[in-house]
Amino acid sequence: MYARVLTRQTKPGAMKEAIAEYRNNVLPAANEHSGFKGLLALANQGTGKFVSITLWETEHDMMAGERSQYLQQQIDRMAPYVSGAPITEHFELVVATPVK
């Protein structure tokens, strides 16, 4: 399994709206992609940092979203609520436990 980790900084006072946009639009869009296995969205209310971790069955599935412009569309969707360019990293999942 593979993970894309995307880190953004929300604009002051925009965290609530960023979370709502992610939940209501980014998540449903991700669910439509082949190989999508799930996601985690992490928010630090104090610093305004927002981290998205999407999980993919294969590296090919993960990268297909970038080649198809899916990822850029989601980045653009979040633009009203964030500042600066996203930091995007790719990882192979090597150890995981179920969420309890």
Query: Under CATH, to which class is 2-92 assigned?
Result: alpha beta
Cα–Cα nearest to 52, from 39, 37, 62: 39
As a whole number, mean pLDDT of residues 82-96 equals: 94
Domain range summary for the chain, segments of one domain joined by +: 2-92
Q: What is the pLDDT of residue 24?
A: 95
**pLDDT score of 3 more than 90:** yes
Alpha-carbon distances, residue 42 vs 9, 49, 52, 60 (angstroms): 12, 8, 6, 25
**pLDDT score of 99 more than 90:** no
CA separation for the pair 6, 13 (Å, rounded): 20
Encode pLDDT of 28-86 as tens digits: 999 998 999 999 999 999 999 999 999 999 999 999 988 888 888 888 999 999 998 99
Q: What is the pLDDT of residue 70?
A: 85
